[in-house]
Structure 1
Amino acid sequence: MTTPAAAVHVRAPGKINVFMRVGTLQEDGYHDVATAYQAVSLCEEVRAFPASDFSVSFDGPIDSSGLATDASNIAIKAARALARRTGFRGGVRLEITKRVPIAGGMGGGSADAAGALLACDALWGTDVGREELHALAARLGADVPFALMGGTAIGTGRGDRLSPALAKGTFHWVLAFADFGMSTPAVYQELDRHRDRHALDIFPASPQPFVDAGVLQALRAGDPHMLAECLHNDLQAPSLHLAPDLAKVLELGEQNGALAGIVSGSGPTIAFLAADLDSAISLQIALSAARLTVARVTGPVSGARLLAD
């Protein structure tokens, strides 16, 4: 153990799933996935202060009034898991500035959990190491390990078995946010219903999905035009079925110069890939003029990291 800190500041990124294939429904009620994650420059700020018990509060541009701040909050769960693992006897006061939409398909809660793990480890001087943090992260949720790792990675299993993917250069994205959230379990249930309804028209799902080689080539080449050809998300059809207005947003982005648009994760955030910075700025202006809430971001960025205040 090292000397505990007086306060710690961590930044943890949101993510876009640039490719997502979902396997068949398994007996345990879950699906295996094969996804290509990219961490983007829309980040959560997590500050940790010494305390005798565990608490969390939120501020920032996102309305977080509906978020639980009791023991069911994922950031508190993360802090308690680390305390249990290390035998730490105290607590922590977490203050989180939210910028990643809640229930938006960008892993905002996962970023909070990853940020809390890293912040508490530094605050308490527990020094468990990245591997152990990753193991704790995987028990908290499928996207939490990636929020710790960042960059670009292929996720398999529940999405928590990660292997880094080589990505050259910078990709420019414009994100269109909805004024509602979507439940991940509800979108997966709709996917199963969608597959049953269209069993005769679509290829049957594989029990062990994989990421197409073209995606890896596009990322390695740093080529947005190549990547635009490969963007794919099995959860997009069920998301659009549950929230039909998202189809208009996709259309609007593609009419205004996006190379391609995709529902991120289980939605409802839509990520538009732009050819370059100028195209991204033009697209951001056009979507803002259409009264959409948008943000221009880049990827890949690093995972959860300690900042010097």
Structure 2
Amino acid sequence: MFIRQDDFFSFSGESRTVPKLEVLAPAKINLFLEVTGKRSDGFHELDMLMAPVALFDTIKISVGGISEISLSSRWAQGLKSQPELPEPQDNLVHRILSMFQEVVWELHHQRPGICVDLIKRIPLAAGLGGASSDAAAALVAANQLVGELLTFDQLLEIAARAGSDVPFFLYRRPARCRGRGEIVTPLSSGQSLPVVLVKPDQGLSTPAVFSRLAEFASQSADSIEPMLAAFQAGDLSMIGARLHNRLFEPALAELPALSQLFVQLQKLDVAGCQMTGSGSTFFVICRHRTQARNIASRLRQMMTGTVLDTYTLDQPFGWAA
């Protein structure tokens, strides 16, 4: 996440200067996703390689005033025909900030009021981690605005309770994620990968896709090690050959129309393609950014939905005030 600090006037009707942070929260793709078992708490054991990509939601956040959370959300200007966003109380940003308030109260007897304006660009129900990234960004920014009352480990504990993908975004770089996603090992990348994101009009529910997993449970688990070696070496061809997503077939069972899109993408002369997360977005790994731009242009003419050319963030995407 990238953070820029400003001051602005008038918070909760008061005419005074209040610090405000503007945060860019990136999407992610799963270069590797294996399901290795099911836990007693109902979650699945996962082994994943995730990389952040340069597609960002924007969060404007400030603290002060009464001890409430005010959240507004909207799609960025120019994005048409997007689904309705969740009500504030149902948004993961609201949930994680409520957790943050409770921990700050328990440890420091303070309950800061928090005001958030969320501008969305990352598609919903897409497997791109937008809600988790927004939550992680809001958590870090709120903590920074209150003088970093909580340590990184305390933020990590809140993130793990909020959602499986949220801890990944706190580390700000590619990572191997295990457990249900909360065991994060940051990794170095050999290079930034040019990618094209292809999100069909229809999205997929993560619980619905996982519910179909038992239909394909007889398959043995793939090892992540060859992908990790290829990724850290920056071997584009080998990365493309090692792309893997155990949720791909359950997603096809849930949304059969994805099969036709995948067949089209496989015909492209690229390093590889795969679905990210529980879908419905596919990503295409290209050989260079010019190829990514050209392929994105062609795909926009061929299909409805969202097509974006971007790249993975291979260095820690740190914040600077």
Tell me the TM-score normalised to structure 1 length.
0.89
Would you say the 8 A contact 2:159–2:167 is kept in 1? yes
In 2: Cα distance, 1:47 partner to 1:81 partner: 19
In 1: Cα distance, 2:93 partner to 2:318 partner: 16
The one-character-per-residue Cα deviations of 1:25-80 (angstroms, maximum 9, x if unpaired) are 3333221000001111112211112342212111213735241212x321011111
In 2: Cα distance, 1:171 partner to 1:304 partner: 15
Q: Which residue is 1:77 aligned to?
A: 95
Would you say the 8 A contact 2:192–2:312 is kept in 1? yes
Cα pair distance change 1:120/1:302, threshold 3 Å: farther
Q: Which residue is 1:11 aligned to?
A: 24
Q: Which residue is 1:67 aligned to?
A: 86
Cα pair distance change 1:303/1:75, threshold 3 Å: farther
Q: 2:182 aligns with which of 160, 179, 192?
A: 160
Q: Which residue is 2:231 aligned to?
A: 219
Q: 2:277 aligns with which of 249, 265, 277?
A: 265
- RMSD (Å) for aligned C-alpha atoms: 2.0
Q: Which residue is 1:238 aligned to?
A: 250
Q: Which residue is 2:112 aligned to?
A: 90
Q: Which residue is 2:46 aligned to?
A: 33
Matched to 2:73, the amino acid is F
Q: 2:37 aligns with which of 24, 31, 35?
A: 24
| 1:1-309 alignment runs, 5 A limit | 6-50=19-63, 51-52=65-66, 53-59=68-74, 60=76, 61=79, 63=82, 65-70=84-89, 72-87=90-105, 88-195=110-217, 199=218, 202-203=219-220, 211-292=223-304, 293-301=306-314, 305-306=318-319, 308=321
In 2: Cα distance, 1:179 partner to 1:289 partner: 15
Alpha-carbon offset, residue 133 of structure 1: 1.4
Describe the SS at the equivalent of 1:282. Answer: helix
In 1: Cα distance, 2:175 partner to 2:190 partner: 13
Instruction: List runs of 5+ in structure 1 lacking aligned partners.
Output: none
In 1: Cα distance, 2:118 partner to 2:194 partner: 26
Alpha-carbon offset, residue 307 of structure 1: 5.3
In 1: Cα distance, 2:55 partner to 2:200 partner: 16
Identity, % of aligned pairs? Answer: 28
The one-character-per-residue Cα deviations of 1:12-31 (angstroms, maximum 9, x if unpaired) are 21110100100233333221
Describe the SS at the equivalent of 1:46. Answer: strand
Alpha-carbon offset, residue 121 of structure 1: 0.9
Describe the SS at the equivalent of 2:153. Answer: helix
Matched to 1:167, the amino acid is S
Q: Which moved more, 1:61-70 or 1:12-21?
A: 61-70
In 2: Cα distance, 1:228 partner to 1:296 partner: 17
In 1: Cα distance, 2:315 partner to 2:258 partner: 29
In 1: Cα distance, 2:315 partner to 2:69 partner: 27
In 2: Cα distance, 1:23 partner to 1:136 partner: 25
The count of aligned residue pairs is 294
Alpha-carbon offset, residue 5 of structure 1: 5.5
Describe the SS at the equivalent of 1:90. Answer: coil
In 2: Cα distance, 1:98 partner to 1:64 partner: 11
Describe the SS at the equivalent of 2:216. Answer: helix
Describe the SS at the equivalent of 2:212. Answer: helix
Matched to 1:263, the amino acid is M
Alpha-carbon offset, residue 219 of structure 1: 0.9
Alpha-carbon offset, residue 258 of structure 1: 2.8
Would you say the 8 A contact 2:206–2:278 is kept in 1? yes
Q: Tell me which of the two structures has the higher relative contact order, counting C-alpha pairs closer than 8 angstroms and 6 or more residues apart.
A: 1
